Structure 1
Amino acid sequence: MIDTGKAFCVANKQFMNGIRDLAQYSSNDAVVETSLTKFSDSLQEMINFHTILFDQTQRSIKAQLQNFVKEDLRKFKDAKKQFEKVSEEKENALVKNAQVQRNKQHEVEEATNILTATRKCFRHIALDYVLQINVLQSKRRSEILKSMLSFMYAHLAFFHQGYDLFSELGPYMKDLGAQLDRLVVDAAKEKREMEQKHSTIQQKDFSSDDSKLEYNVDAANGIVMEGYLFKRASNAFKTWNRRWFSIQNNQLVYQKKFKDNPTVVVEDLRLCTVKHCEDIERRFCFEVVSPTKSCMLQADSEKLRQAWIKAVQTSIATAYREKGDESEKLDKKSSPSTGSLDSGNESKDKLLKGESALQRVQCIPGNASCCDCGLADPRWASINLGITLCIECSGIHRSLGVHFSKVRSLTLDTWEPELLKLMCELGNDVINRVYEAKVEKMGVKKPQPGQRQEKEAYIKAKYVERKFVDKYAISSSPPEQEKRMVSKSCEEKRLSISKLGPGDPVRAPPQSSEAERQDSSVFLDSKHLNPGLQLYRASYEKNLPKMAEALAHGADVNWANSEENKATPLIQAVLGGSLVTCEFLLQNGANVNQRDVQGRGPLHHATVLGHTGQVCLFLKRGANQHATDEEGKDPLTIAVEAANADIVTLLRLARMNEEMRESEGLYGQPGDETYQDIFRDFSQMASNNPEKLNRFQQDSQKF
C-alpha cells in the first residue's frame, strides 16, 4: 500500500507539472495562466500532504508492527520451545518413576528426586510461558490499536489539511465558474455576430475601392494606422514585397510576418515628408522621404493611398504637439514651485499595492526561511505570531490549536490589508529573539527540514511549553511610582475624552515631551513589569515586538488595569491610535466586547476618538454596537452627536446588515455584497491611506 501510494504521488506530480507547462504555454491568456498556476500550486500542496501521510503510515503501521512481529513474537516462540522441552522432560520423569521396581531402593530414590526437580522446573517454565502469553496478548491489543489510531490520526490531519486548502480555494473557483459562464455567453454572442458578418460579406459588392480599406485606426494602443503595402526594395533589382505596415509611437514600421520584430523605416516622423509618385509604372504609389533615405510604397487602391498619406501627415503634426507637451512637463518638474515628490510617492504606492502577500512578507528580516526549521521559501504563515512557515511546520502548528497558532497560506489566501501590515511589523527574527532566547544556552539544536518527529517536539516546547523563553523575575505588583508613570499620558487622554459633550470636536491628545518619555522609560523597564502591565503599556505605544514578548511571558491578553478604570490592552491600543496593534491583539484572543468601569468597550472608545479604521475593524470582528455605557449611549449615538459621517455610515450599515441577516435566517453569514465592498474599501483606506480617514478630525480641529 505504501509503495503504491508513493507511486501515486509520483504520477500526481507528473500530472501537476503538465498543468504548469500548460499554464506557461497559455501566457497570452491571463485568466487561463493564473487559474492553472493557482490550481497547480494547490495540487502541489496536496501531493505534499499525501507524501507526509505515507511517511506517517510507514512509521505508525509498518515500523511498529514489524517490531512487534520480529521482537515480541520471537520471545514468545522461545518461551514456547522451552515449555515444550520441559514438558517432555517431565513426561519422561513420570514414566521412569513409574517403571522403577519396589525392591530397588536406590533407583526409587533417584527417580523420585529427578521427578521432583523436573516438576519444579516445569512449574517455573510454565509460569514464564503464561507470562509471555499474557504479555503478547496485551501487546497485540495495544500495538495494533496504537498503530491504527496513529494511522487514523494521520488520515484525519490529511483530510483536514485538504479541506482547509480547498476551502481557501473555494471562493476563487466560484468566481472562475461565474467567469466561465460569462465566457460561454460572450462566445455565443460573438458567434452570432460573426455569422451576421459572413452574411453581410456575401451580399457586399467588392468592385468598389471602399471594400479594400484594410487599415485600423486605434490610437488607444498607440497604433494610428496599419495595413498591407507593397514596398520597393533598395537592391539593384528593385523588387516589390508585400509587408504589414503600421504607424505607431511616431514611427513608420513594417513586419514580414505577424510575430516578427518590427523593422523601423522612419524613426521620427517629424523629420520626414510624404508625397505622391506618378512617375513610375505602378499605380497608387507614394514615397516617404527622410534625411537619410527614401521609401517607395504602393497601396491597393487610390483611396488607400490617400488614407496612408493623410495618416502620415497627421502623425507628423501629432508628433510635434506631443514633443511640445513633454517639454512643458519637463519644465514644470524642474521648476522649484512644483516638486516631484508626489509622483514618486504615487509610483511607490502603486508598487506596494501591486506586490503579492508572499513578496511583501518574505522581505521582512528572517522571513525568507521557515521560522522553526530554516527551510527556504516558506509559503505559509502564523498570523497571530507574525512568522512564516514551511508546509510541514505549518501542519504541526495547525495541530497545536488556533489558541496557539493560526495558520494561513501566503499564496492561496486573500490577505486583508491590516493583517498584511501586522505580518510586516513582526517577522521571524523578532519572534525568535523572544521564543528562542535560551536555545543556545540550553544546548538545544533546532530541527532540520525533514525531521518530522524532532520538529513536533521542538515546536511544542517552543510555543506551548515556552521552554526557551527567558523568563525573568517579575514582580506581581509594580511600585506605585512606576504605575503612575505608566498611566500618566493614558489618564490625561482618557480624561479629555470623558469630558466631551454632544457635538464637541475630538482633539488630539496632549503630547508628552521627549524628556518625559525618557523619564518614563526609566521606570518602565520591562524586567520590572508584570506581563499584563507590559502588554498594556506596549499596546498604547504601538510596540508590537514588546507586545509579543509580553504574551510569550504569559500576559493575559484581556488583562484589566484596576488603576485605570479596568481598561484593557485593546482599549489602550485604541487610545494609541494604531490599527495594526488592535489587529494583533484580536488575533491573539482579545475580547472585542470587554468594557471598562464606564461601560465603554473598544468600539465606544474608537467612536469617541473618531478612529474610523478601528471602528471598521471592530465591526468586522463582531463588536456589539448595541452595548451602552454608563450614560446610556451606544456607539451610534456618540457618532451622531459628534457628526462623524464616516463612522455613522459604518455603524448604520453594520446594523442594517445584521437585521437583514436575522430576518433572512443567515446567521454566521457575512451579509450582502454591498456591505462587504464598503467595509473592504474602508479597510484598504485605513491601512494604505489613513490620512483620508482623518479628515473629520482635521476639520473639527479647525472649528
Structure 2
Amino acid sequence: MTVKLDFEECLKDSPRFRAAIEGVECDVSELETRLEKLLKLCATMLEVGRQYCTASKAFVGGVRDLSQHTQGDPMMNELLETTQLSSRQHIQTLVKEDMKRFKEARKEFERGSEGLASALHHNAEVPRRKQHEAEEAAQALQTARARARARALDYVLQINVIESKKKSEILQFMLMLMDAQASCLEHGHRLTQQLERYRRELGEQLHQLVLESAREKRDMEQRHAMIKQKDLSQDEGVLEGRGEAPDAVVMEGYLYKRASNAFKTWSRRWFSIQSNQLVYQKRAKDALTVVVDDLRLCTVKPCPDHERRFCFEVVSPSKSCLLQADSERHQQAWLSAVQSSIASAFSEGRTEAPGQHPERPSSMSAATMEVSGRSPREAVDKRVLDQVQRLEGNAQCCDCREPAPDWASINLGVTLCIECSGIHRSLGVHFSKVRSLTLDSWEPELVKLMCELGNNTLNRIYEARVEDMTVKKPQPSCSRAEKESWIRAKYVEKKFITKLPEVRLSRGGRRPPLKPKPGSISRATEPREAGTPPEGLHPGALLYWAAGQQNLPTMADALAHGADVNWVNSAEESRTPLLRAVAANSLLACEFLLQNGASVNQADSTGRGPLHHATILGHTGLACLFLKRGANQEAVDVEGKNPLSIAVDNANADIVTLLRLAKMREAEVAQGQSGDETYLDIFRDFSLMASDNPEMLTRRDLKLTTL
C-alpha cells in the first residue's frame, strides 16, 4: 500500500501536514472531476454503442431482407454489457462510495480542527488568578485535541485508501475493458474464419456474374450493331401478342384520332387492342380511355376518300371513330389486327358486355351464342395446367422448347410459351386459337382434346422433315423475329411436313369418294391391320376415315396436308367428317373438327346436319355440344322435321329439354331480357356428363309433346 500521508505528521498537525492535506485535496478533487468525466464519456460511449447496435441490427435486417441468408450476432451487445458492468462495479464504486466517505471524513476533520482551535484560543485567554476556569479550559482543550486527532487520523486513513484504490480500481477497470474488447475481437476472428468459406463462394459467384455481365454486354453490343445496320427509316410502332395481361395486347402503337367536337381536331394517342377492347391513352400514368367496349359490336373500314392519308374508321352501333396511321403499312396492320380480334372474339366466345348483344350470323342464334360464352361463374380449373403439362412433351413449348408453358393452341392441341402464343395469335384463328391454361375457363372436352394430341404428336407431323432438311429449331433465347419465322414456316407454309405421294390425288385434282363403286377393286377393301388407314386416300377422305375411327392424330395429319375440314363424301349421302364423327359418337373428334373450322350446320343430301343426326342417334352430349357451338335448331330435313320434332318422336327427354331451353333463352334475349343462368348450369352439367360419364346420358322413353 502506498502511504500518501504519515500518521505521525497527522498527530503533529504541522504546516507540512496542512500543506500535504491541501495537495491531497487538490489531487482528489481533480481525480473526482476526471472520474466523473470518464463516467460521462463511458455513458456516452455506451449510448453510442447502443445506437451502433441498433443501427447494426437494422443494417443486418436490411441485408437479411435482401438475401434472406444473414444471421444475427450478439457480439457487440456482449462487449457493451461487459463494459457497463465493469464501470458500475469499479469506477462508480470509487466515485460514489469511496469519494463520499472521503468527503465526510474531511468535514469531520475540519470540524475537529475548528473545535481544537477554539479550545486552544479559550485556554490561552484564561488568566492566572482564575484557577478554576483554567482547569476547565485545560480539560476542554484535552477533549478537543483528542477528538481532532481521532478525526484527523480517520481523514488520513481515507486519503490513503483513496490513493491506494485509485490505482488498483482504475487499473482493474481498464483490464476488464481490455478483456471485453479482446473477447469481442476473438469472437470476431472466429466468425471471420467461419465466414471464409462463404466469402470464397461469394467470390466465385461474383466471378460468374462478371462473366455473365460481359457476355450480356457483348450480346447487347452485337444486337445494337445489327439493329443499327437495319433500315430504321420506317418506325414499326406496333407490338403484337405481348401477353402482359390475362388478355394479351394484340397490337399497340401511335395513331392520330379525330375529335368529335366542332373543330374536328386531331390528336396523337397511344392505342392498343386488349381484353377484346380498343383503348388509348396519352401518357402511361393516364387511365385507359375505351373507344370500343366490345370488338364484336364494331366493324372497321379504310377511308380512301378522306383528305388525310392512311385513315380508317372503327364503327360501332353507338359511335364511330376516325383514326389515322403513319403509313399505308401501318394502316393495313391496324385493319388486319382489328378484324382478327373481332374474329377471335367470336371464335373464343368471350362473355358479352352487360346490356349489349352483338349482331350474330344468321346461322347462329342469340341463345346459342350465350351458351357458347364462358360464364363469369365458371371457376378456372387449376388442375388443367398440370393435367396438360404432364403429357409427354408438353412440359416444354412446342415451338421453342421454353420450359413450363402456360398457353395452348386449342385447335392444334399443343402447349406454348407466352411469346410463341403471341405469334400464334397473330397468325389468325384459322391457323391457331390461343388460350391460357391458367387464366381461361376450360371445358372438359377441350382438356381431353389437349391430352389426346400434344406436342410430340403434332411435331411428328409438322416437323417430320426437319432433321433431313438440317433446319435448326429456335431456342428459348432466340429473338422474336427468329421464332416468328420458324412458326410461319411450320404452320402457315408447312415446309417441314412430309409430301403426299401423287397416288393420293385423283385425275383432274377431284376428290375421290371414300367408298369404292360396286364391283370395283380397291386396296382400301383389302384386309389390313385394325386402325390403319386405307392407302391412296386423298387428305379429305383420310380426314373422313379418321373421324369415324376417332383417331385425332390422323385427323391432324390430314388437316396438315391440306384436307378440307368440310370435305363431302359423295359416296355416303354427301356426309362430312363431322357427320362421320357424330355417327361414331365421338365427342373429341367432333370438338376437334369444330375447333378447326368445321361447319356445325352443313347438311348431307337428306338435309340433316350434325344436330339432326345427334338427335336421331340419341347422342345427348353431342347435341349439347352443337347447341353450344351455334347449331341451327330450326333447320328441317327433306321430311320437313327439325331436331325438336325428331327428339319428340324418339321420346328423348334430355335432348328435348336442351332444345326447349335454348329456344326459350333465344326468345328472352330477343325481347331484351337478361334471364337467369339456370339453363347455363344445365348445359354445363350435360357437357360434364358427356365428357366424364357418357353412360349417364341414356335415352328416356317418355311421352312428350311439342311446344
TM-score, reference length from structure 1: 0.46
Judging by fraction of residues, say which structure has more helix.
Answer: 1
Bigger Rg over Cα: 2
TM-score, reference length from structure 2: 0.46
Higher relative contact order (CA 8 A, sep 6+): 2
